[in-house]
Amino acid sequence: MTQEPQLIRQEKKFDGAIVNLRVDTVLLPNGREATFEVVEHEKAVVIVPIDADDNVLLVRQ
């Protein structure tokens, strides 16, 4: 069973009418801390695919 990252702290940076911005600090299963910059947008979804070589894959629309 894989452990999930544990939230250490969550800092709100901006609360707006369209988007909210926050910075999450988490404790990873390997014991290291990581920081994630999060954009919350109620009517949007974003998925960032990363391949085995750490390349970000983008599709032009």
- Would you place residue 8 in the very low, low, confident or very high pLDDT band (cuts 50, 70, 90)? very high
- What pLDDT, on the 0 to 100 scale, is given for residue 48? 85
What is the residue type of 42?
E
- Would you place residue 61 in the very low, low, confident or very high pLDDT band (cuts 50, 70, 90)? confident
If you write DSSP's letter for every residue of 1-61 in order, what string do you get? -PPPPEEEEEEEEEE-SSEEEEEEEEE-TTS-EEEEEEEEETT------B-TT-PBP----
Of 47 and 49, the structure prediction assigns the larger pLDDT to 49
Distance between CA atoms of 21 and 45, rounded to whole angstroms?
Answer: 15
